[in-house]
Structure formats: structure tokens, C-alpha cells
Amino acid sequence: MTDTHKQLPHLVFGGELITLDGSEFKDISKLDIVGIFPDYASAAAAWKAKAQQTVDNALMRYFVVHLHRLLDPETGKIQGS
């Protein structure tokens, strides 16, 4: 059976930041890679769950990356490569 939905992969990851107003991680080797999800809705749900788990640490931040926006629709390769 084929999936008729267009794949729009999203990456969810996070870690502790150096400052509240920045986006540089304290230790990039300790990033928490939550996973890759097939659509924004499931990625957002995973992001929300992780953000709620770490609410007591103001420096902990999670992000959703739209991986599908990095892919060239013509070739299926990463843009710029």
C-alpha cells in the first residue's frame, strides 16, 4: 500500500543554552535529539512534550527544524549541495 500523503520530515532537538536571549548551546555534544517526524503536527506534539518536561530549567530549549524545506524539490537533494 502506498502513502498518498506528501512526506514533510521535521527534526525536533534541544539542549541547554548559554544565555536566555541567545541560541548557542552550552554543550553541543549533549544535544537531545528527540527524533524525526513525518509532519509538523507530530513534531509540534513532541516539541511541546519535551518543553513541558524541562520547564524548570529556563535555559533548556527545544526546536523544530523543517527538514523538508532544505530539500530541493526537483532533485530530492539537500539545497546548495
The neighbour count for residue 28, using CB atoms within 10 Å, is 8
Give 50-80 pLDDT, tens digit per residue.
999 999 999 999 999 998 877 766 666 666 6
Number of structural domains (the chain) is: 1
Write down the pTM of the prediction: 0.80
Q: Is residue 68, in this structure, part of any structural domain at all?
A: yes
> Tell me, what's the pLDDT at 3?
54
pLDDT averaged over the chain?
A: 88
Provide the residue range defining the domain that includes 54: 42-81
- In sequence order, the 6+-apart residues with CB closer than 8 A to the CB of 54 are 14, 60, 62
In a domain, 28, yes or no: no
Predicted local distance difference test score (pLDDT) of residue 36: 96
Q: Is 15 within the bounds of a domain?
A: no
Task: Give per-residue pLDDT as tens, 18-53.
Answer: 999 999 999 999 999 999 999 999 999 999 999 999
